[in-house]
Chains A and B, each alone.
Chain A
């Protein structure tokens, strides 16, 4: 049990997917201008990442490794993620329209969100077993959501400030992200 709690803390804070491992930065800057979109994106990522983590683990362990096809990892994972996203989109549209309305536009974006693919690859690389894959996928996604929502909160405030012209938009966004990353950096050495 202690191992699992350690894993959760490590994935959310210490190795935060956005701020310590630099994965998924495009949506981080793209969807963080408004709190609403940030929350939507976070939820969509949590949803898809847990599914993708589990699916890719199964494919790697049951198909790729037994037949010695590890070199097809990249191509098979991206196909799994892309079709999974499509499937989730269709499923939500049909059966849970309310959730679809909330997550809708963010789902297609997730295919090219490298946080999803990145976590799947990290899980395989760290040789996690099934339970640990499930936990780490969820914890990484939660860390993504936490960082994104924090960042969106700060960014909404920046809108009210008078930023010098060359620093506006992405530039000040990156500097802000750096300062938030500095705060997360203090978690280093905790686990």
Chain B
């Protein structure tokens, strides 16, 4: 193995950070990032499923026949999504209510299927955990930062604390649907600009 475990972990934080570098999983990125809290909540839920699914796929990689691997991945992912759903209903009900339909929809998030197919199915458990953690934390950071920008400009506050001065007129466009697309588009442009230098 050419790459070390640490490298597998770090690549998820910048070089392959979803949804900027890997343009996957856009739906939750746009749908739930109206505030920092929602963004991070969604990120953590996704990261949990990603790590667990990566572990199981990697453990079973020699057992699963290659022909039906996609169906197997989907069942493994769906199982962990159900676990997250039940856990959130029990311990974070308010967040569960706000994220609503996007929690069960983690199942069809292409990041998960993508990592299972591209990484966990071909690698042993330890690098798979590192890969899942890296991508998961990268995704959480991305959702958190998009949430921060939208919350800051849309409401003038971050995590409920007023940041902008009292004279600031909230730019409500950012917390509405169209703002999500434009905000993400501009952030992607900024990433390209920084990355190309």
Contact = CB atoms under 8 A, between A and B. Distances in A.
B23 A125 contact: no
Nearest to A109: B110
Contacts, number: 123
Question: Which of A82, A118, A121, A174 has the most C-beta atoms of chain B within 10 angstroms of its own C-beta?
Answer: A174
A173 B177 CA distance: 15
Interface residues of A, number: 44
B81 interface: yes
Interface in B17-52: 23-27, 30-31
Nearest to B188: A171
B104 A185 contact: no
A129 interface: no
- Consensus secondary structure, chain B interface: helix
Interface string B92-107: 0000000001001101
8 contacts: A21-B31, A22-B30, A22-B180, A26-B24, A82-B74, A112-B113, A117-B108, A181-B181
10 smallest CB-CB distances across A and B, nearest first, come from A174-B185, A178-B181, A178-B182, A22-B31, A175-B185, A166-B192, A181-B178, A25-B26, A75-B78, A182-B178
Interface of B: 23-27, 30-31, 71, 74-75, 78-79, 81-82, 85-86, 101, 104-105, 107-110, 113, 176-186, 188-190, 192-193, 196
